[in-house]
Amino acid sequence: MGLNKDQILQATDGGLDVFKHFLRSNWPGLRKPFLNPFYEDTKPSCNLYQDSESRRVLMVDFGNPEYSCDCFGFVGHIFNLQTLGDEFIQIMEIIDRELALNLAENHDRIRELKRRFPEIKTANELPPLTLSESRDDVSKQFIPPIEKEFGPSELNYWGMYGIDAELLQKYQVKCIAEFKGINKMGQEYSIHAKPDEPIYGYLSTRYLKIYRPLSAKRFFYAGDLSEGYVFGINQLPQKGDILFITSGEKDVLSLAARGFNALCFNSETKAIPKKIIRRLHYRFRHIVILYDCDETGQRESKKQMEALKEFEVKEITLPLKGIKKQKDISDFFKMGRSGEDLMKLFTDVLDALYQDTLNLLSSFEVQFDHPPIVPDAVVAINSVPVGSAGNLMAITGSEGSGKSNYLGALLAGTMVSEFTNTDLLGLEVARNEQQKAVLYYDTEQSEEQLYRNLRQIVRRAQCQAPPPWFRTYGLVGMGRKDRMISILHSMDRFYYAYGGIHLVVIDGIADLIDGVNDEERSVYLIEELFRLAAIYRTCIVCVLHLSPSGYKLRGHLGSEIQRKAAGIISIEKDDDKQNSIVKALKVRDGSPLDIPQVIIGWDDDLKYHVYVGDQQKASSNGRKLKELQSIASDIFSQNTTLSYGNLVCELKERLGIKDRQAKNYVKMMRDQDIIQQNETNSGDYSVVNGVNSDLFSGD
């Protein structure tokens, strides 16, 4: 059985013997103040307390709470170990070894500890820990000073830094007529204000800090500063952008006079408590060290930056000489610099910090003087672009709707010349005059079926054979991971082989990932295809299935395509089983419901689908209402009621339309009793069951 915490506490009188052992001749006794031995402490604010019931001993550091600990934490500080996991076990083994407690059964492990960590020294090998009990200029006895009103001369001093009487009152800065203190010998002394030596006081309920800016000895202290001196913390807002940590109170006030948030501790050389910074880190976006620019200030600024790096603390070095009247932010403002000048220094820090990100982002910035190249339309319907260079296009449809024939017409359009009269099922496909690569990847059909489809494409294009730049690949027998890699590599190769890529078709895009509901892979796939379309300045056509509702593409993959694709085309069987309806679900500009539907039908003689015609304009309004009814049924199948705002958002997402158009459709659906406002909550809408079919007749 190994060591445990309770064993050691019981064997060492709650840890008391541990403190005595390591402090040795410097043992201060209980409840007597001493300097913290772990940093350059300047005020005896450490005490050892033992609870009368539990007997447990704690070291409490009122100056820096980060060092308050029990005997285990104390030993951890000595040997640079944390009181967690294996390192806590090491701490217990050190205590067991040093105090000869003989609690550990496996002493080989203690020897192993010494072998693995030869830098660990025994208590006798450690240098004595330095302790002290006093500081000359601090008295626990607090005699309230005699205050007086701020006169013109006192206000003139603060006015040089832009600080007025209202700000002094807000920060409880007092004008002092007389200050009485008690030195360490118990003798009382007094200081009187003079016209050429004013006295100011930073006053709290338990302490007083005297400031004499024009005197040889500028600072005096009285009262109990062990509660932790933080000037300006009570005046901070609950949330903010930038918080400056400065050298002194005057700096805090100078910054506050210009609208900045700031605070200071008792001195630059004081360790900043992490507990305070942790709380402030949640309240402010940036915490910035703004110390004096002399040697001490710069050294301590670096030290604080390292100690607080987990909070992403930043620092600003002022562009001053570092001499007496040119070293702090108050001098910076007194010399005529403004708050805007300080903000420029801060943004310079951000520029250096975010340089890599900003360099990357600069290539994506929209320059007003250099408008982007308008992408060429590759595929259009009725002169409305649905597929353009640098974008994604989607084709979807139900089984047996003629989707493969429609896709074949699109691919045939890349082969035809301007003199060929070819039926492209209502599509307008940009001619491939420069003979760039056209890449057709299929993940669903057998090699035999894909070959038949290719023959039909060639026949529709009235060619003898596919041109060399037209490449067809059947990937059904390839693993899913290899499919995407093959597409990436071949696109790159043929881009250079043929001087560009005119069009890419991926029939069965869902087969490139494990499932259409894999959100992470879906997002990655569509982002990667979108990136490639932009790099190669081509249109990538993605073919996938619709959800049963008929207006939303399947799964997370469909949702990503719906958001990113510039155009989406759907093919559905018509009531006349010989025909199919081609309709736009999304277009880049305008509403897809304003684009007439195309009717295609099977031709027994040609053995492929042919263009039948456009939907008659007379029935376009009825068609639009029918489409809106179908969309409404789909939207409200998941939610029985929706607010007006959420309904508008659903329409915008499904149809890829602007806000105004979506609101017009809500009004149209409400006017035609497709949806209704609820009686209990007029802000919510629901779908109307049993819609009158006469609405869709177009009469």
Q: pTM score, two decimals?
A: 0.51
Read off the pLDDT of each residue in 249-264 and give the average, rounded to a whole number.
95
For 368-388, the pLDDT digits (tens) are 778 767 677 888 888 788 888
The whole-number pLDDT of residue 385 equals: 86
End-to-end CA distance of the chain: 91
Query: Which pair of structure tokens corresponds to residue 198?
Result: 């004013």
Domain residue spans in the chain? 5-125, 146-227, 233-358, 377-615, 624-696
How far does Cα 220 stand from its chain's mean position?
46
The whole-number pLDDT of residue 315 equals: 93
The whole-number pLDDT of residue 63 equals: 75
Q: What is the mean pLDDT of the chain?
A: 82
The whole-number pLDDT of residue 115 equals: 47
Read off the pLDDT of each residue in 42-63 and give the average, rounded to a whole number.
84
Longest distance between any two alpha carbons in the chain, whole Å: 119
Q: What is the dihedral of CA 347, 350, 351, 355, to 10 degrees?
A: -170
For 564-609, the pLDDT digits (tens) are 888 889 888 877 677 888 888 888 766 777 777 888 888 888 888 8
Fold of 377-615: Rossmann fold (3.40.50)
Instruction: Write down the CATH number for the domain with range 233-358.
Output: 3.40.1360.10
The whole-number pLDDT of residue 136 equals: 41
Give CA–CA dist 476/444, Å, rounded.
Answer: 6
Domains 377-615 and 624-696 share a fold: no
| Range of lowest pLDDT (195-199, 322-326, 470-474, 650-654) | 650-654
DSSP 65: G
> Is residue 628 within 8 Å of 650, Cβ to Cβ?
no
Residue 693 has pLDDT above 50, yes or no: no
**Given pLDDT bands bounded at 50, 70 and 90, which one contains residue 517?**
confident
User: What residue type is 653 in one-letter code?
Assistant: E
How far does Cα 698 stand from its chain's mean position?
51
The whole-number pLDDT of residue 502 equals: 95
The whole-number pLDDT of residue 301 equals: 92
The whole-number pLDDT of residue 191 equals: 87
Residue 130 has pLDDT above 70, yes or no: no
**Bridge-based pairing state of the strands 392-397 and 240-246:** unpaired
Read off the pLDDT of each residue in 184-191 and give the average, rounded to a whole number.
74
Give CA–CA dist 208/224, Å, rounded.
Answer: 8
Q: Which residues contact 284 (CB under 8 A, 6 or more apart)?
A: 239, 240, 241, 242, 243, 261
> Is residue 101 within 8 Å of 11, Cβ to Cβ?
yes
Instruction: List phi, psi (to 5°) of 372.
Output: -70, 155
Read off the pLDDT of each residue in 263-281 and give the average, rounded to a whole number.
84
The dihedral region occupied by 462, where left means phi > 0, alpha psi between -120 and 50, and beta the remainder, is left
Instruction: Write down the CATH number for the domain with range 624-696.
Output: 1.10.10.10
